[in-house]
Homo-oligomer: A and B are copies of this chain.
Amino acid sequence: MCTKMEPIGFAYTDATEIPKHWTVSDVEGTLVIDKKYLEGLRDIRAGQQIVVVFQFHKSPKFSPEYLRQIPRYSTEKKGVFSICSPVRPNPIGISVLEVLKIKDNILHVKGIDMLNGTPILDIKPNIKKD
């Protein structure tokens, strides 16, 4: 059983150094979403936080050797489901970004931790528990 995902758009940034995680990123960039989804973007506002689901498109194919990896902040191996490594069974990444501006199908965002050209799979509102 498997399911196919198709990008709704792509992330772009001029930054040459990409932070390891959105929580420590001030990098700005744009999300260019396919115009066929324009109506779905209409309620997103500047100043809002959005959850962006994306594809780690440059990662090698997952194999058992990646079940335990040394994360950047450590010298010891950890299980892949306890770290944010881009090498995962399904190459899905999640970042919470701040919307700086939205114009038609282009979102200017801050907090980028994705490579230039990263395929975007979904955008969701950032809902937190009270």
Contact = CB atoms under 8 A, between A and B. Distances in A.
Size range of the chain A interface in the assembly:
35 or more
Given A68-B39, A92-B122, A2 B3 contact: no
Nearest to A128: B23
Interface string A1-18: 111111110000000000
Nearest to A123: B81
A62 to B, nearest CB: 10
Contact of A122 (B7, B8, B90, B119): B90
Interface in A38-92: 39-44, 50-51, 53, 55, 57, 64, 67-68, 78-84, 88-92
The A interface, classified by DSSP as helix, strand, loop or mixed, is mixed
Nearest to A38: B67
A129 interface: yes
Contact of A79 (B40, B67, B83): B40
A49 to B, nearest CB: 10
Given A39-B68, A89-B122, A23 B130 contact: yes
